[in-house]
Structure 1
Amino acid sequence: MARIFIKDLQPGMIIEDQIFHLTAKDLRSSTNGSLYMSLTLADRTGPVNARMWQASEELYKALPQDGFVRVKGRTENYKGLLQFIVDAIRPIDGEAINVDDFLPTTDKDIDAMYKRVVEILRTIKDKNLLFLIKQFIDDKELMERFRKAPAAIAMHHACIGGLLEHTLGVMELALALAPRYPQLNNDLVLAGAFLHDIGKTKELAWDTSLKYTDSGQFIGHLVMGAMMIEQKSIQTQKDLGQPVPVKLVQTLQHMIISHHGSHEFGAAKLPMTVEALVLHHLDDIDAKINMIQTQFSNADSETEWKYIKSMERMFLNPNLDKSDETIKE
C-alpha cells in the first residue's frame, strides 16, 4: 500500500498496512473492565490519537515506548477530531524504515540559509568577536549538526533544519532593528543571535525521532552554549597567541544564559545588558510567530480561531483572507 501521511488522513479511511512512529502508549481499563490501549502515532506531518480496543497486557508490553510499528485499522471522527482505530499492530525494526518519512524537515533551503548566516556574520566589525565566531564556523562537525538540528522537540521550529531556520530568523530581525537603535552594539547582538541556541546541537538528538540527549536533560542548552563559548575562546587564544577579552566572553555568555528572559522560562540570569534584552525579545518574536503559524498549518484551512495551549489564549488564524474586513458580531 502506498505511503499515506497523517496530514492526508480523513474520517472513514481503511488503512491496510502502514508504518508509524509510536510516540506514546498507555494501557487502560474501559467501564466494562476490558483493556484498551491509548496510543499516539506520528510521522513527519504530525501526530494522531489512536485507540486499540480488546487489547492485552502482553501486546502492550511488546510495543516500544518510542519506536516504529506496523499498523492496520481505520479512521473516524470522534468529537470533531480525527481518531485512528487500530485493528492490528506489531513492532518493527527501525532499520527497516525510511527515516525521512518520520522526521519533519524545514521547507526552506538549508544550504541557502547557512550561506546567509555566514554572510551576515561577516558584517561583524569587532575582530575579537570575528575570531571567536570563526572557531565555531571552522568546526565542520559542529556546523553539520547546526544545519540539521531542530530548534525544539515540539514548541517551535521542531524539524530538521529548524535550529538553522530559527537562528537566521533572529539574525535577520537583528539586522532590521539595528538602524532604529544605532546605540546598540549590533556586533554583540548578531553574535548572540548566532550562538543563542548553539547548545541545542548537543541538547537534542534527531536519529529516528526528535528527543533530548542525556546531557540535554541534565544541563540544558543555555549552560551548554555558555560552556561552548568558553571552550572556543580558549582555542582562539591558542590560535592567536593572545586572549579574547574576558569581559567580551562573559558578556556573550550572559546573553546566552539570559535569553529566555525570566527564571520561570529557564533563564539562569535575567537580561542585564540592552543587547541581552534585545536578543531575548527577538528570539521570542521569531519563536512565537512560528509557533502560531505551525498550529494553524495543522488545523482546518477554514478554522478562524484556535486555542494555543502553550500561550494560554485564543488566536486568530493568520492565514485567513485579509481582504474581508467585516467584523463579526
Structure 2
Amino acid sequence: MSKIFIVNIRERDFVDSPFLVRDKVMAMAKNGKPYMTLKLVDRTGEVEGRVWDRVDEFNDLFGKDDFIRVKGKASVYLGKMQLVVQEIERLDEDKISLADFLPVSARDAQVMAAELRQKVDSLRNPHLQALLKAFLDDVAFLQAYCKAPAAKSMHHVYLGGLLEHSLAVADLADDICRRYPDLDRDLLVAGALLHDIGKVEELRYVRTFDYTDEGKLLGHIVMGVEMIDEKLRGLENFPRPLALLLKHLLLSHHGQYEYGSPKRPKTMEAVVLNFIDDLDAKINGVRTHIEKEPDSDSAWTSYHRLYDRYFFKPQGLSESVNSSDELQERAAVMAPALSARPETKPKKMDKKPTFGFSLADQLKGKSLDLFAANPDKEDGDDR
C-alpha cells in the first residue's frame, strides 16, 4: 500500500493512505446527527479528519493509537487542511512501516550525538565531566535520550526532540557565559544537558507521544533528580555542594510554582537556565505553530490557545517594498484582518499561562524592604 505523506496533501486531492490515529472525538451536530473528528498523523505532520456519514459503523472499527487506511477528499477549511473521510479500514501493524508515522527531528541524529560528546568533553570540572560520562556510558539511557521527544505537545514534539532541545539550551548557555564570564559555565552546561533527562522515562513514544504512569505520578523533574542521585552513588568523592547546586538547577528550571517547578531559581545559573530553557522551547513552539499552516494565505496564524494570541507570519515583509503606494496597499490589505481579530478571538480562560514572566510581574505586590519584620515569603515556606 502506497503512503501519501501529510505534507504532500493538496486541496481537492483524493487521498487513499494509512495514518495513525492520535485522537478520536465523537460529537453531535446541530441537526442532531453524530459526527467524528480525527487527528491523523504521520512523521511529516498532522491533519484533521472529519467523518459525517456512517459514523457509528466506523466508530466500532478502531480506536485511538490504531493504524487506519483512510479514503477521502482533501479541502482547506479556515486555513487548515482537512480530510472529509469516506472510507475507513483498520490496519494491523505488520502492514505498515512504523518509521512513516512518528515525526523525527530535522537534525541528523549522529551529528547531534557527536555534538553531545563534544559538549561533555569540553567540561573542565572533572566531577561534572565524570557524571555526564556516566550517563553517556549507560547504553540504554543514551539510546532513550537520543530518541525521546522533548514534550508531548508543547515543543520539540518529535523523535530526537529532547536531544535537539538540550543541545540548543547548552549552546545558549555557552553564549550567555561569554557575555557574563562570572557564571559557572561547566555547571550551567551540565544543567542544560541534564535538566530534562527525566523525560526519557516520563514519556512514551512508541506509537504516539503520551505520559507513562510514572510520568503522571512523579513528573520528569523529580525523576531526573532521582536519575542523577543514582549515578552519583557510583562516583567517588563527588563534592556534595556541587551535587546540591546541580540538583537545584533541575528542581527550579520551570521557574515558578504555577509552572510545575518544585523550587524557584535561587542561584545565578538557575536563573539563566530557567530563561534559556523557556526561550528555546517557545521559539520552537511558535515556529511549529506557524509552519503547521502552509496552505493558509492569511498573514496571521490561527489562534494559539496556550500563548493566548495570533502570530504574524512575516514572509510578506521579506520582499523589498520600493514605493509608498506598495506600503499603503499592504496596510490596506492588513487592516481588515487586524480589526477583525478581537471579534473572532476565543474567550479567555480564567487562568492561563502567560508568554513571558517579566521581573516587573514577579515583583508586583511584593515588599522591597529587605529589613521588614514580616517578609512576603520565608525561604522555609518553599514547597
Q: Secondary structure at the match of 2:235?
A: helix
Range with greater deviation from structure 2 (299-308 or 92-101): 299-308
Give the aligned CA root-mean-square deviation in angstroms.
2.0
How far 1:77 sits from its partner (Å)? 3.1
Structural mapping, 1:86-101, within 5 Å: 86-101=85-100
The answer on 1:322 being equivalent to 2:318 is: yes
Q: 1:313 to 1:162 in 2, by over 3 A?
A: same
Corresponding residue of 2:285: 291
Corresponding residue of 1:240: none
Corresponding residue of 1:305: 300
Tell me, in whole angstroms, the C-alpha distance in 1 between the residues paired with 2:139 and 2:9: 40
What is the identity percentage for the equivalent residue pairs of Structure 1 and Structure 2? Answer: 38
1:13-64 per-residue CA deviation (whole Å, 9 max, x = no partner) reads 212x311111122223333433322222111122222221233435313311
Tell me, in whole angstroms, the C-alpha distance in 1 between the residues paired with 2:316 and 2:176: 28
How far 1:160 sits from its partner (Å)? 0.9
Range with greater deviation from structure 2 (219-228 or 291-300): 291-300
Tell me, in whole angstroms, the C-alpha distance in 2 between the residues paired with 1:95 and 1:266: 40
Tell me, in whole angstroms, the C-alpha distance in 1 between the residues paired with 2:242 and 2:60: 54
Q: 1:28 to 1:4 in 2, by over 3 A?
A: same
Structural mapping, 1:148-187, within 5 Å: 148-187=147-186
Range with greater deviation from structure 2 (148-157 or 29-38): 29-38
How far 1:193 sits from its partner (Å)? 0.4
Say if 2:120 and 2:133, in contact at 8 Å, map to a contact too. no
> Taking structure 1 as the reference length, what is the TM-score of the superposition?
0.91
- Partner letter of residue 308 of structure 2? E
Structural mapping, 1:1-329, within 5 Å: 2-15=2-15, 17-237=16-236, 243-300=237-294, 303-306=298-301, 307-317=303-313, 322-324=318-320, 328-329=330-331
Say if 2:50 and 2:82, in contact at 8 Å, map to a contact too. yes
- Partner letter of residue 300 of structure 2? W
1:122-171 per-residue CA deviation (whole Å, 9 max, x = no partner) reads 22222221221221111111111111111112211111111111111111
Range with greater deviation from structure 2 (138-147 or 211-220): 211-220
> Taking structure 2 as the reference length, what is the TM-score of the superposition?
0.79
Tell me, in whole angstroms, the C-alpha distance in 1 between the residues paired with 2:100 and 2:253: 33
Say if 2:23 and 2:40, in contact at 8 Å, map to a contact too. yes
Q: 1:305 to 1:79 in 2, by over 3 A?
A: closer
Say if 2:149 and 2:156, in contact at 8 Å, map to a contact too. yes
Q: 1:319 to 1:133 in 2, by over 3 A?
A: farther
Number of aligned positions between the proteins = 323
- Partner letter of residue 299 of structure 2? E
Uncovered stretches (5+) of structure 1, i.e. residues with no partner: 238-242
Say if 1:293 and 1:318, in contact at 8 Å, map to a contact too. no
Tell me, in whole angstroms, the C-alpha distance in 1 between the residues paired with 2:36 and 2:309: 31
Tell me, in whole angstroms, the C-alpha distance in 2 between the residues paired with 1:169 and 1:87: 43
Uncovered stretches (5+) of structure 2, i.e. residues with no partner: 322-326, 332-383
Tell me, in whole angstroms, the C-alpha distance in 1 between the residues paired with 2:30 and 2:319: 51
Range with greater deviation from structure 2 (66-75 or 225-234): 66-75
Q: 1:255 to 1:50 in 2, by over 3 A?
A: same
Say if 1:149 and 1:162, in contact at 8 Å, map to a contact too. yes
Say if 1:171 and 1:194, in contact at 8 Å, map to a contact too. yes
Range with greater deviation from structure 2 (221-230 or 77-86): 77-86
Tell me, in whole angstroms, the C-alpha distance in 2 between the residues paired with 1:259 and 1:95: 42
Tell me, in whole angstroms, the C-alpha distance in 1 between the residues paired with 2:103 and 2:97: 12
1:231-284 per-residue CA deviation (whole Å, 9 max, x = no partner) reads 1100113xxxxx312221121111012111111211111111110110111111
How far 1:178 sits from its partner (Å)? 1.1
